[in-house]
């Protein structure tokens, strides 16, 4: 087997307050290969977002480590982690997190603007990606002028702009109707085939999770493979 793109080893995470301790992740071991698509299912509050954030270096485990192409991520400095995220990862959330005062094209180009890339070239690239997600006629629209499904397409285009090896998507269709949900999953599947982008997708929807290569189930702080056909 080729070495995994991401691997996490013995990830533990707990939250404590004055009265009790919640062990959210209890020795989670997991890998994802380059080009693979994986769904994570689990009840609300089971720790799916926490795990996704730790894998993406947006949160820190109490113990354990995450390896990207065999390189430890939690021995890196915060600055190195930020550079790593910007270069290698894309994120898509349930609530699109688009900037309201910017157009669709500017939102997609934002990661390049932040890096200091040429503005004009960044917008050309952003418009290519908007066309790729079916929004060639919406370049100048602000987020409030777009439907929920269109906003998620913009968020996916933005996640793609740095040609990431991996996209983390946390309930990206949580706010969409069935038709838009299905079309977002088709888009994910097409992007995976076309760009070989890996996807780690948190969802509530078993039918849609079944479209991924593998389904994992998070329960009692542990991740297990879910058999499906």
The footprint of ligand ADP (CB under 6 A) covers 15, 22, 24, 42, 44-50
Three-state SS at 79: helix
**φ/ψ of residue 110, rounded to 5:** -55, -45
In eight-state DSSP terms, residue 73 is S
Residue 42 touches which of ligand ADP, Mg ion, none (CB < 5 to 8 A by kind)?
A: ligand ADP
Nearer to ligand ADP, 23 or 33 (CB): 23
Nearer to ligand ADP, 186 or 219 (CB): 219
Nearer to Mg ion, 60 or 140 (CB): 60
Residue 56 touches which of Mg ion, ligand ADP, none (CB < 5 to 8 A by kind)?
A: none
**Measured from the CB of residue 204, what is the shortest distance to ligand ADP in angstroms?**
10
Q: By the 8 A CB rule, do 194 and 35 touch?
A: no
Tokens (6 digits) for 13: 């995470």
Task: Check binding of 49 to Mg ion (CB under 5 A).
Answer: yes
**Measured from the CB of residue 116, what is the shortest distance to Mg ion in angstroms?**
32
Three-state SS at 193: helix
Q: By the 8 A CB rule, do 199 and 169 touch?
A: yes
Nearer to ligand ADP, 47 or 111 (CB): 47
Measure the CA–CA gap between 215 and 112, rounded to whole angstroms: 33
Residue 47 touches which of ligand ADP, Mg ion, none (CB < 5 to 8 A by kind)?
A: ligand ADP
Q: By the 8 A CB rule, do 144 and 176 touch?
A: no
In eight-state DSSP terms, residue 144 is G
Q: By the 8 A CB rule, do 179 and 187 touch?
A: no
**Measured from the CB of residue 215, what is the shortest distance to ligand ADP in angstroms?**
15
**Measured from the CB of residue 49, what is the shortest distance to Mg ion in angstroms?**
3
Interface ranges with Mg ion (CB under 5 A): 49
């Amino acid at each position: 087997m080729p070495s995994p793109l991401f691997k996490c080893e013995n990830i533990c995470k707990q939250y404590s307050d004055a009265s009790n301790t919640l062990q959210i992740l209890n020795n989670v071991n997991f890998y994802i290969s380059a080009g693979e698509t994986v769904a994570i299912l689990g009840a609300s509050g089971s720790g799916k977002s926490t795990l996704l954030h730790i894998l993406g270096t947006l949160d820190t485990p109490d113990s354990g480590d995450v390896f990207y192409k065999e390189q430890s991520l939690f021995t890196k400095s915060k600055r190195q982690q930020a550079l790593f995220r910007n270069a290698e990862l894309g994120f898509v959330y349930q609530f699109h997190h688009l900037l309201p005062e910017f157009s669709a094209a500017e939102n997609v180009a934002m990661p390049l603007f932040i890096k200091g890339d040429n503005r004009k070239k960044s917008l050309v690239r952003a418009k290519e990606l908007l066309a790729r997600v079916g929004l060639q006629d919406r370049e100048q629209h602000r987020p409030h002028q777009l439907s929920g499904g269109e906003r998620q397409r913009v968020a996916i285009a933005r996640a793609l702009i740095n040609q990431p090896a991996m996209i983390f998507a946390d309930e990206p269709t949580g706010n969409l109707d069935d038709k838009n949900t299905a079309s977002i999953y088709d888009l994910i599947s097409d992007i995976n085939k076309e760009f070989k982008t890996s996807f780690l997708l948190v969802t509530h929807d078993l039918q849609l999770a079944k479209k991924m290569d593998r389904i994992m189930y998070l329960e009692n702080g542990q991740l297990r493979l879910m058999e499906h056909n």
